[in-house]
Structure 1
């Protein structure tokens, strides 16, 4: 089964509870195996297992609530390896800026005050992981097409960029960091010229809008948003985005009864 490599502190406390009660069920509901290197009895050399686990993972999940050096190392390795990453951060992180390379990336914030907060996080993670799996399959299909060919009026760079932004958008008018799109496009083999041309053409066709948003620390950054015209085109040409989710080999464990053991 494909894996989701989990990057988080190991503390025999609240973070371990969050893995067992929130992260693991969410990952399994998305059809992946939740992998944490400390729980693998086959591991002899942890650093080798960590790097191999990240490289071979379908998706990585990182909790950046605390400034844990192991978490930052593994997260940086995941980015360098080109792996899709879902980042989460609880409200417990207060008054601390994210490192520069994190600031303009999507981070899922979550509360820790009640069981319902963890139910919401679990559902959000499942949907986000599914979206990244689907996006990866769609990008593979696009990469196999002829670079100079047009598909239903869009060139390969335009289609690639549209798939990247759509894969990040959970709701209509959801925005995606332009920096994040550029990085993902580079990892998919698109050159800087291809990226610039693709963005200009999508804007001219009114498939996307460019704008500005603020991050967790109130700092501005550039964003890209798919317009209603863009979403209509995607829906009319969904055959270009045909994907298959992984078969679910395991069901999420029953999480009833956790009310008395909340992962605070």
Structure 2
């Protein structure tokens, strides 16, 4: 960011440095990481990491990280928590009810990290714990190599979507505009961007729970999200619907952009960040 004189201010540099530190883990590796949460079994899950997860993560231009494979780790629990906090994205396999997996997953959510969850058809009874039932989980089969190819593609796509959204929201939050833009405040614009990013295909919806969590992770307070969302509903740019949860036998709330909402986004495309910068571009802008 630059001032009217074209020079970077100290506050701008400090923000940029903080953002770079968010991307670059403390291990000294100059590539953002994806912290992998899964059982360590010297068997099928380790093979899944090597054959599926690591290649899928690398295809999204992140470094796959497992704490048990880091020779520099001295105190595992501290390294786990630090690795999760420093990760750009976390990947969690919740196929089994492994206590370490659930602890690390909970810590990732509490730390505000974006999490991609996967679960195979091997999971007993196929039900998820209450806290994640309304979150997106990528299911996968293990019958043939094509199943794992599909999983790799789905993982890379999902991770890239998280990275693109994080960059878009970061740049949106950096803007200096206070006055409404094309009739929307910056908080309304941010919430609208999150809904649009989560509902790319016709008929797609996102849960209100997920939307609120992502908005707060992007920097909004709970009241800030509530005000922005209510205004978007009043302006007929988003709509609220009900969906049925078969596992819990209850109704929950979902949301998506209305046709008018998509028309607004299309007409104001220039307000949204459509492409994330490469890591090389970020390195060029580091002020030291």
Specify the TM-score bucket, using the shorter chain as the normaliser: 0.7 to 0.9
Change (3 A) 1:106 1:214: farther
Q: TM-score w.r.t. structure 2 length?
A: 0.80
Equivalents in 1 of 2:146, 2:245: separation in Å?
A: 25
SS of the aligned residue for 1:150 comes to coil
- CA-CA distance at 1:140 after TM superposition: 1.1
Equivalents in 2 of 1:89, 1:42: separation in Å?
A: 30
Higher relative contact order (CA 8 A, sep 6+): 1
Correspondent of 1:9 among 35, 39, 52: 39
Tell me if structure 1 keeps the 8 A contact 2:37–2:66.
yes
Correspondent of 2:184 among 141, 145, 154: 154
User: 2:142 matched to 1:112?
Assistant: yes
- CA-CA distance at 1:86 after TM superposition: 0.6
Tell me if structure 2 keeps the 8 A contact 1:91–1:112.
yes
Partner of 2:257: 226
SS of the aligned residue for 2:206 comes to strand
The answer for unaligned runs of 5 or more in structure 1 is 250-264
User: 2:65 matched to 1:35?
Assistant: yes
Q: TM-score w.r.t. structure 1 length?
A: 0.87
Equivalents in 2 of 1:49, 1:216: separation in Å?
A: 38
Q: How does 1:1-264 map onto structure 2 within 5 Å?
A: 1-146=31-176, 148-215=178-245, 217=247, 219=249, 220-242=251-273, 244-245=275-276, 247=278
Tell me if structure 2 keeps the 8 A contact 1:62–1:75.
yes
- CA-CA distance at 1:67 after TM superposition: 0.5
Q: Which moved more, 1:106-115 or 1:234-243?
A: 234-243
Equivalents in 2 of 1:107, 1:97: separation in Å?
A: 11
Tell me if structure 1 keeps the 8 A contact 2:168–2:276.
no
Over aligned residues, Cα RMSD in angstroms?
A: 2.0
Which entry has the higher C-alpha Rg, 1 or 2? 2
Partner of 2:286: none
The one-character-per-residue Cα deviations of 1:77-133 (angstroms, maximum 9, x if unpaired) are 111111111111111113253222211111111122222111111111111111100
Q: Which moved more, 1:193-202 or 1:57-66?
A: 193-202
Equivalents in 2 of 1:173, 1:147: separation in Å?
A: 33
Equivalents in 2 of 1:200, 1:206: separation in Å?
A: 10
